[in-house]
Chain A
Amino acid sequence: MTSVLEIKDLHVEIDGKPILKGIDLTLKQGEIHAVMGPNGTGKSTLAQAIMGHPRYDVTQGEVLLDGENVLEMEVDERAHAGLFLGMQYPSEISGVTNSDFLRSAINSQREEGDEINLMQFIKKLDKNMNELEMDLDMSTRYLNEGFSGGEKKRNEILQLLMLEPKFGILDEIDSGLDIDALKVVSKGINSMRGENFGALIITHYQRLLNYITPDFVHVIMKGKVVKSGGKELAERLEAEGYEWIKDELGIEDETVVE
Chain B
Amino acid sequence: MTTEVKDFKLDGESIIARSKERGEGDFIVGKKQEAIDKFDALEMPKPDKTRINRWDFFTVSSPVVNSEVYESLETLPNTVKEVVDLDVVENLYVQHNNTPAFLKVSDDLLEQGVIVENIFEASENHRELVEKYFMTDGVKIDEHKLAAYHAAMLNGGLFVYVPKNVKVPTPIQMVVLHDDENASLFNHLLLVADEGSEVTFVENYVSTVEESKEQLNIISEVIAKDNAKITYGAVDFLAAGFTGYANRRGVASNDATIDWALGLMNDSNVIYDNTTYLMGDRSNSDLKIVVVGRGDQRQNFTTKIIHYGKESNGHILKHGVMKDSATSIFNGIGQIKKGASGADAQQESRVLMLNDRARGDANPILLIDEDDVTAGHAASVGRVDPIQLFYLMSRGISQKEAERLVIHGFLAPVVKALPIESVKRQLTEVIELKVVSK
Partners in one complex: yes
Residues of A near any B CB (own CB < 8 A): 51-54, 74-76, 78-80, 84-85, 87, 90-91, 93-96, 101, 104-105, 108-109, 142, 159, 163
Lowest 5 CB-CB distances: which A-B pairs, in order?
Answer: A95-B409, A95-B412, A79-B396, A105-B395, A91-B391
Residues of B within 8 A of A84 (CB): 394-395
Known: A90-B391, A91-B385, A101-B392. A76 touches B412 (CB 8 A): no
Residues of B within 8 A of A80 (CB): 396
Task: Indicate if the CB atoms of B385 and A96 lie closer than 8 Å.
Answer: no
Residues of A within 8 A of B410 (CB): 94-95
Task: Indicate if the CB atoms of B405 and A108 lie closer than 8 Å.
Answer: no
CB of B66 within 8 Å of the partner chain: no
Residues of A within 8 A of B401 (CB): 104, 108
Q: B398: which of A51, A87, A96, A108 is its contact (CB, 8 Å)?
A: A108
Known: A93-B405, A95-B408, A96-B408. A108 touches B391 (CB 8 A): no
CB of B406 within 8 Å of the partner chain: yes
Residues of A within 8 A of B391 (CB): 87, 90-91, 93
Task: Indicate if the CB atoms of A105 and B397 lie closer than 8 Å.
Answer: yes
Those of B381-418 within 8 Å (CB) of chain A: 385-388, 390-399, 401-402, 405-406, 408-413
| Minimum Cβ distance to chain B for residue A170 (Å) | 13
Q: Chain B, 311-333, contact with A by CB distance < 8 Å: what is the 0/1 string?
A: 00000000000000000000000
Known: A91-B387, A93-B388. A79 touches B394 (CB 8 A): yes
Residues of A within 8 A of B397 (CB): 76, 104-105, 108
- Give the complex CA separation of A79 and B390 in angstroms: 11
Task: Indicate if the CB atoms of B395 and A79 lie closer than 8 Å.
Answer: yes
- Give the complex CA separation of A115 and B395 in angstroms: 16
Q: A108: which of B388, B395, B408 is its contact (CB, 8 Å)?
A: B395
Count, A-B residue pairs, CB within 8 A: 79
Closest A residue to B386 using CB positions = A54
Q: Chain B, 409-429, contact with A by CB distance < 8 Å: what is the 0/1 string?
A: 111110000000000000000
Closest B residue to A83 using CB positions = B394
| Minimum Cβ distance to chain A for residue B302 (Å) | 25
- Give the complex CA separation of A9 and B240 in angstroms: 56
Residues of B within 8 A of A91 (CB): 385, 387-388, 390-392
Residues of B within 8 A of A109 (CB): 396
Task: Indicate if the CB atoms of A74 and B390 lie closer than 8 Å.
Answer: no
Task: Indicate if the CB atoms of A75 and B394 lie closer than 8 Å.
Answer: yes
Task: Indicate if the CB atoms of A78 and B408 lie closer than 8 Å.
Answer: no
* Chain A to chain B contacts (Cβ below 8 Å), 22 pairs: A52-B390, A74-B393, A74-B399, A76-B397, A84-B395, A85-B394, A87-B391, A90-B391, A91-B390, A91-B391, A91-B392, A93-B405, A94-B410, A94-B413, A95-B411, A95-B413, A96-B405, A96-B412, A101-B392, A104-B401, A159-B395, A163-B395
- Give the complex CA separation of A90 and B408 in angstroms: 19
| Minimum Cβ distance to chain B for residue A249 (Å) | 34
| Minimum Cβ distance to chain B for residue A152 (Å) | 11
Task: Indicate if the CB atoms of B394 and A51 lie closer than 8 Å.
Answer: yes
- Give the complex CA separation of A105 and B350 in angstroms: 27
| Minimum Cβ distance to chain B for residue A24 (Å) | 24
| Minimum Cβ distance to chain B for residue A192 (Å) | 16
| Minimum Cβ distance to chain B for residue A48 (Å) | 9
Task: Indicate if the CB atoms of B399 and A93 lie closer than 8 Å.
Answer: no
Residues of A within 8 A of B390 (CB): 51-54, 75, 91
| Minimum Cβ distance to chain B for residue A229 (Å) | 30
Closest A residue to B397 using CB positions = A108
Residues of B within 8 A of A96 (CB): 405-406, 408-409, 412
| Minimum Cβ distance to chain B for residue A88 (Å) | 12
Task: Indicate if the CB atoms of B395 and A93 lie closer than 8 Å.
Answer: no
Task: Indicate if the CB atoms of A94 and B387 lie closer than 8 Å.
Answer: no
Residues of B within 8 A of A108 (CB): 395-398, 401
Given contacts A52-B394, A104-B397, A105-B397, 8 further A-B contacts (CB under 8 A): A75-B394, A76-B393, A76-B394, A78-B394, A79-B395, A94-B410, A94-B412, A96-B408
Those of B215-253 within 8 Å (CB) of chain A: none
Task: Indicate if the CB atoms of A105 and B412 lie closer than 8 Å.
Answer: no
Residues of A within 8 A of B387 (CB): 54, 91
- Give the complex CA separation of A75 and B397 in angstroms: 9
Task: Indicate if the CB atoms of B393 and A79 lie closer than 8 Å.
Answer: yes
- Give the complex CA separation of A84 and B397 in angstroms: 12
- Give the complex CA separation of A75 and B400 in angstroms: 12
Closest A residue to B413 using CB positions = A95
Closest B residue to A48 using CB positions = B390
Task: Indicate if the CB atoms of A101 and B394 lie closer than 8 Å.
Answer: no
| Minimum Cβ distance to chain A for residue B19 (Å) | 47
- Give the complex CA separation of A53 and B390 in angstroms: 6
| Minimum Cβ distance to chain B for residue A221 (Å) | 27
Closest B residue to A85 using CB positions = B394
Residues of A within 8 A of B396 (CB): 76, 79-80, 105, 108-109, 163
